[in-house]
Amino acid sequence: MNRDGSVIYGNNEEGMRRVRAFKEGKLRIGGDGLLEHDEKWIPISGDVRNCWAGFSLLQALFIREHNAVCDMLKEHYPDLDDEKLYRYARLVTSAVIAKIHTIDWTVELWDEGQLRFKDLFGHICGPVLSGLVGLRKPNDHGVPYSLTEEFSSVYKMHSLLPDKVILRDITNSANPNYECPPVSQEVPMTEMTGKEGERRMSKIGMEQMLVSMGHQASGAVTLWNYPSWMRNLIPHDINGEEVPDPVDMAALEIYRGRERGVARYNEFRRNLLMIPISKWEDLTDDCEVIEALIEVYGEDVEKLDLLVGLQAEKKIKRFAISETAFFIFLLIASRRLEADRFFTTNFNPKTYTEKGLEWVNKTEPLKDVIDRHFPDMTAKWMRCSSAFSVWSAPPDKTNYIPLYLRPAT
């Protein structure tokens, strides 16, 4: 989910007009709470390329969030017309998406508990202690902000996706112990993508899909765990139409890195002022992996492709991603907020409205958004602290001490 909200709002004038209801600032949404579709069963949303049911689900959820913001703004500011309601609600919803991405989704990739110091003591001592949102002015560190090729490369984490979706039976009337609901059906991912996936999603329904995804753990970002269905993927064009020639995404991702001149693994680490490897044993202690690397690259560690290295690299304890990827995540995630005037200079009631800013500040994890729209469902099925965790997992204990001030364990 793009942090600027373009996946629900569109990337150009035509796309933005297509998704709007032009009434009370709202976006188009189906009567069942899912995305509307055209006569070809292509979803009506900001980005319809290479969609699958889980992605469409999140698009629908945040369209509902946008429309809920419109209702709130209309109640408190009845003089706002359709255009102003739309623009304010878009600002608020995009900020909520960026916030969730930064302090909820990204944080789930490593062992972290953060951004609470500001809640206790306000914005003091700059971003080190108080966080990045709310700085007095943008800071681009002398370089205009952009999503770099390096960030795009480390963000290729398709190993998180499963080969099948495990649908859960949520018809049980009570669940006081937050037990994982029983399996109803296992559906291959090939049946959950594209137009077929949209049709199946309409039969499954939003709540069952949310609960099912919430109780299915993601895959590990490691070698030999790439989704098999993505090795023969039918891609879509910008209009959501299928492209005739299938692609092998695993091979394509390696090719793209080479074609775009992204540094190989060792040079990439040098550019980050990290220690390069001198032998395969520096990368991993898995003998099977080392044997495979020698078969492909020989003894020349300088030839190691970045994506292969990132997935072969030994992980820090409780981290889902490699240390090398973590450096890029930390850098770009923070710069994304520092360089954006809507999170610095213009992060104020004048820009967002007083009630809009309050909405952003009071919404923290994705769980807050889901709970706002499905309170009975979350009360029954979600035990965890973050919606990105397995929902039946116990909640995290709040830790107000930033990671960098905690003792090593």
Given a cut of 70, whether residue 345 has pLDDT beyond it is: yes
Which of 92-106, 286-300, 369-383 shows the lowest per-residue confidence on average (mean pLDDT)?
92-106
Least confident of 16-20, 47-51, 146-150, 219-223: 146-150
Amino acid in position 59: Q
Per-domain boundaries in the chain = 6-142+345-386, 143-161+224-339
Position 29 scores a pLDDT of: 97
Establish whether 76 is an annotated binding residue. Answer: no
Q: Which residues are catalytic?
A: 155
> Which is more confident, 248 or 406?
248
- What pairs with residue 247 in β-bridges? 233
pLDDT for 126: 47
Task: Give the per-residue pLDDT at 218.
Answer: 92
What does the pLDDT read at residue 347?
A: 92
Please tell me the predicted confidence (pLDDT) of residue 195: 93
Task: Give residue 139's pLDDT band: very low, low, confident or very high (50, 70, 90).
Answer: confident
User: Looking at residues 113-138, what average pLDDT do you find?
Assistant: 49
Non-local (6+) Cβ contacts of 321 within 8 A are 109, 110, 154, 157, 221, 310, 315, 329
pLDDT band at 404 (very low <50, low <70, confident <90, very high): very low
Report, as an integer, the average pLDDT of 379-403. 83
Q: Are 269 and 70 in contact (CB under 8 A)?
A: no
For the beta carbon of residue 220, count every other beta carbon within 10 angstroms: 13
Least confident of 75-79, 167-171, 313-317, 370-374: 313-317
